Amino acid sequence: MPVRVLVRDPKKVMALADAGVEIAVGDLDASASIDEAMVGVTSVILVSSAVPAQELNLVCSAVRAGVEHVVKATSKASADSPIARRRGQTEIEAGLAASGLPHTLLRSNAYMQNTLMLAPVIAKTSSFGSSAGKGLVGMVDARDVAAVAAEIAASPAGHAGKTYWLSGPQLISNYDVAGLLSKLLGRTITYRELTFDENKSAMVSAGVPEAIAEQNAQAFSLTAEGDAEWTSEDVELILGRPARSYQQFVADYARAFS
């Protein structure tokens, strides 16, 4: 099935172009550019930073283009969440439902790839910290989420109106992450429990915009309270194989952590 990706900067996706992906240049704030990219499209995989106006621009464009199915990557969204992006996801999901477009929601647990952001501080200090405390997480590999999205987009029959909860096969804490990284790197990696304010400040110091740092710290603090303590078998249900474990992820990304 031919694939087209909508991007703002084609220079950042040269590898996709080299792999045969068609590149459409546009912006989710510019409806005309979305409409141009949507010509001939039958299925849409919607992945962005969950800005309601932007994603709903795309939903409206999909309606105009007669798109047959939308697969939306989302989260544990709720209208009363303390985290702004989760409230935004709720608004987007409501607009998608109101559009009448057949669609599927993919609610992912925390991505394993998020821990790649820890690589620089681990290399420098052999430690990392978070306000997630001892919270357990059913972390999921983003590659598995992508594979599920692609499978549904290519063969959407039977998936309309469904919500899938995507996780890895096990619950792990940051203490477990530190232990696995210690084995991988051959030296002791230490995990430190931080307060919300300490975690937010550390991210801001690392260059994360303050609003995003606050939302990230909020999410980690909710993790400490059990918010991410869930797993499901939906990855295996869709793909016919088990979800990747964190051990597999660490082995595959050894160079990044080394």
What is the residue-averaged pLDDT of the chain?
A: 96
Q: Does some domain include residue 192?
A: yes
- 83 and 219 in contact (C-beta within 8 Å)? yes
Q: Does some domain include residue 10?
A: no
Does 255 score more than 90 pLDDT?
no
* pLDDT tens digits, 176-203: 999 999 999 999 999 999 999 999 999 9
pLDDT at 225: 97
Q: Does some domain include residue 217?
A: yes
Q: How far is the C-alpha of 251 from the C-alpha of 39, rounded, in Å?
A: 41
Query: In DSSP terms, which residues pair with 103 in a beta bridge?
Result: 70
Q: How far is the C-alpha of 117 from the C-alpha of 203, rounded, in Å?
A: 10
Does 241 score more than 90 pLDDT?
yes
* pLDDT tens digits, 26-46: 999 999 999 999 999 999 999
Q: Take residue 17 and report the two structure tokens written for it.
A: 């172009």
Q: Does some domain include residue 159?
A: no
pLDDT at 149: 98
Q: Does some domain include residue 125?
A: yes
* pLDDT tens digits, 143-167: 999 999 999 999 999 999 999 999 9
Q: Does some domain include residue 11?
A: no
By C-alpha distance, which of 29, 24, 17 is closest to 40?
A: 24
Higher-confidence residue: 208 or 140? 140
Mean pLDDT to the nearest integer, 233-244? 98
Mean pLDDT to the nearest integer, 95-121? 95
pLDDT band, very low/low/confident/very high, at 258 (cuts 50, 70, 90): confident
Q: Does some domain include residue 64?
A: no
- 148 and 238 in contact (C-beta within 8 Å)? yes
Does 175 score more than 90 pLDDT?
yes
- Structural domain count, the chain: 1
Does 123 score more than 90 pLDDT?
no
Does 25 score more than 90 pLDDT?
yes
CATH number of the domain within which 222 lies: 3.90.25.10
Does 220 score more than 90 pLDDT?
yes
Q: Does some domain include residue 95?
A: no
* pLDDT tens digits, 70-83: 999 999 999 999 99
Give whole-number Cα distances, 49 to 62, 75, 200, in Å. 18, 11, 19
Q: What is the pTM of this model?
A: 0.94
Quickly tell me which residue has 């306000």 as its tokens.
Answer: 131
Look up the domain containing 205 and give its range.
Answer: 110-139+168-231+241-258
